[in-house]
A and B are shown apart, each in its own frame.
Chain A
């Protein structure tokens, strides 16, 4: 895969996903369920705002000193025996990986879910040189065997598939003849992947966090694939977005506490593995070689820009689960690897406004994402700022749309009034009578702003009132 996951036009994607009622229902159900679990989890923990102050402070501190911490990380990782490589972009990262596979004469790889490897299109790059690379996260695996279907969420990639569809795919592709009970299908896949783990030459993983003080890689999984790939294959390649750093284990505590809760509404993931170098002489199992490929791929430009805060992201997926627009169009509507508010904020920065200007439109600027982001990224302000840049600096759209955005602009410009304003926004439904907007609305359907804010409605629903 790469950042772009669909060749359809923006309009086609919208139409296709809005008309897929099964997908919309499953996304909505998933949002409700996980959001509720997350809420309960944070309620139990208490002081969400303080926790995310800490998390945001840590991430900002790291980004502001990223050169220092990266240097520290690299020297410690090398000290404990890892080989560290650097890649400016996707092509360089893939070339380094291919070289390792060639040297090791490796043809079989197992991979534990990793966003950065998707971002650079690693699977395709390895398949081109004849390497068979298997996804081992159950959701990713189900997509891979379903003719390389695309993920609809960054944490729960097969969110859009139901058990019938999955059963059909397992039967057609792998000869599964059982029923469609999730337990039974999972057991079937367990058997297949276990053989793959035991016979793979190389393991590929991402990196949730990298600890500067010790050169350690932290990997979180629930299924145990993160443990498997770091126990059995002889070579382990870690792909690490260059901003994944935390200074020490002390900060890992805060970040992991937030990631598990925000990601799936759990106090912890089932497994967290801390990998410090390859296996030691006293160890029987574990990889003999550990390679860490640190990837820039547009991140240093974001670091230098006014949008540095976006790099705080820990890829928890909470913003998309809270997003009313994502609820309707799903991850597929965005047509990019990172969907939802994160995607609308990040993708234009690392992949360009020109090609990705449209995804900034999939946002009503309601601000629900900001309220849940565990590292307090100003998501909707970023998305709004992108829209302004698209119009004013990049001149990628026409003037009539400028006006439309300025409607939002007036609201967001007074962000303190924003909450109150969205409560009153239904008054804006008379907008088509005003001349400029009337023009604009000739070619576009003016969104009818609901009389109740989505967030209020959502809160009522949670309480069982709606």
Chain B
């Protein structure tokens, strides 16, 4: 069946022969933009931290200069094993790979490598590290462009994920997250993820169990002066 035939059927169902440009969609209310309107960045950060904890993410607050030390501490507290790190400008700048190599086997997501090699390493890794594009206070959500250096597997296959979150990037809610995505719509990466805490299910007797297919442990490492 062609596009033309299929769309034609839909047009006829709507009582016309071809599609017509719609009248603009008018929003009757502004409830979505009103949420947390006017909150300071500190107040948003507090909301984000509180709700992250509610959904089972571990929160560590740190500063840019303390970030390497905090990261080492979190890694030491996490399940021992290898680490896969997103190839991200901030992590490069901080020399994270070199730093962590002193305490564990580390591999940078290799944009020139094969899928098989990269996935194999990520699958064996216990920890994945990536940087958030934005974070949403209302739902403890991290916005991630799973693209290029931040391979999809980095934050999916290892049993723990550490997200580095610059505090200045926290916004009230999904409304702002979606606006951000919309701004880049002419150059969207093929995969964007909004991630809110550890993977979870309630499929057996509605008992919440964390860690079904994705990570069981999620750390939100908030960098207060970034």
Contact = CB atoms under 8 A, between A and B. Distances in A.
Interface of A: 26, 29-30, 33-34, 45-47, 50-51, 53-54, 57-58, 61, 64-71, 74, 80, 84, 86-88, 92, 136-139, 142, 156-159, 161-163, 166, 182-183, 185-187, 189-190, 193-194, 197-198, 213-214, 216, 222-225, 227-228, 230-232, 242, 247-254, 256-257, 264, 267-280, 282-286, 294, 296, 300-301, 303-304
Contacts of B28: 50, 53-54, 57
A224 B51 CA distance: 20
Contacts of B174: 253, 256-257, 268
Contact of A68 (B13, B20, B198): B20
A29 B151 CA distance: 41
B66 interface: no
A223 B185 contact: no
Contacts of B182: 213, 248-250
Interface string B87-118: 00000000000000000000001110111001
Output the residue of A222, A254, A275 with the most chain B CB within 10 A.
Answer: A222
A64 B22 contact: yes
A69 B14 CA distance: 13
A50 B111 contact: no
A271 B188 contact: no
Given A256-B174, A268-B196, A277-B190, 7 more contacts: A86-B1, A138-B204, A161-B204, A193-B213, A270-B198, A276-B192, A282-B111
Contacts of A223: 199-201, 212-214
Interface string B4-26: 01110111111110111110011
B128 to A, nearest CB: 12
Contact of A190 (B6, B119, B189, B211): B211
A231 B156 contact: yes
B120 to A, nearest CB: 9
Nearest to A60: B25
Contacts of B12: 300, 304
A26 B205 CA distance: 8
Contacts of A29: 206
Contacts of B65: none
Contacts of B211: 186-187, 190
A88 B1 contact: yes
B212 A230 contact: no
Nearest to A225: B213
Nearest to B145: A274
Nearest to B194: A272
A282 B147 contact: yes
Given A84-B3, A275-B191, A227 B31 contact: no
Given A86-B3, A182-B205, A286-B190, A231 B152 contact: yes
Interface of B: 1-3, 5-7, 9-16, 18-22, 25-29, 31-32, 35, 51, 55, 109-111, 113-115, 118-119, 123, 138-139, 141, 146-148, 151-153, 156, 173-175, 177-179, 181-182, 185, 188-207, 209, 211-215
Nearest to B120: A198
Output the residue of A57, A230, A272, A304 with the most chain B CB within 10 A.
Answer: A272
Nearest to B192: A274
A81 to B, nearest CB: 8
Output the residue of A69, A86, A157, A227 with the most chain B CB within 10 A.
Answer: A227
Q: Which 6 A-B pairs have the closest CB atoms?
A: A224-B214, A139-B203, A223-B212, A231-B152, A304-B13, A65-B22
Contacts of B146: 231, 286
Output the residue of A185, A270, A300 with the most chain B CB within 10 A.
Answer: A270
B145 to A, nearest CB: 10
A138 B203 contact: yes
A294 B7 CA distance: 11
B1 A284 contact: no
Given A182-B205, A253-B174, A276 B190 contact: yes
Contact of B214 (A68, A71, A216, A227): A227
Output the residue of A30, A264, A267 with the most chain B CB within 10 A.
Answer: A267
Given A26-B205, A30-B206, A88-B1, A67 B214 contact: no
B195 A271 contact: yes
A224 B212 contact: yes
B10 A300 contact: yes
A30 B119 CA distance: 38
A197 B213 contact: yes
Contacts of A253: 32, 174-175, 177-178
B152 A285 contact: yes
B193 A283 contact: no
B175 A227 contact: no
A271 B26 CA distance: 29
A211 B12 CA distance: 23
7 contacts: A54-B27, A70-B19, A92-B1, A186-B212, A254-B32, A271-B193, A304-B14
Contact of A271 (B2, B51, B203, B214): B214
B7 A249 contact: no
Contacts of A264: 202
B112 to A, nearest CB: 9
B11 A67 contact: yes
B14 A64 contact: yes
Contacts of B185: 213-214, 249
A268 B152 contact: no
Output the residue of B19, B119, B207 with the most chain A CB within 10 A.
Answer: B19
Contact of B25 (A61, A157, A227): A61
A71 to B, nearest CB: 5
Given A50-B31, A54-B28, A280-B147, A274 B213 contact: no
Contacts of A225: 212-213
Given A70-B10, A156-B206, A268-B141, A227 B152 contact: yes
Contacts of B138: 267
A271 B139 CA distance: 11
B194 A271 contact: yes
Given A58-B25, A224-B156, A285 B181 contact: no
Given A223-B213, A268-B194, A67 B19 contact: yes
Output the residue of B151, B198, B206 with the most chain A CB within 10 A.
Answer: B206
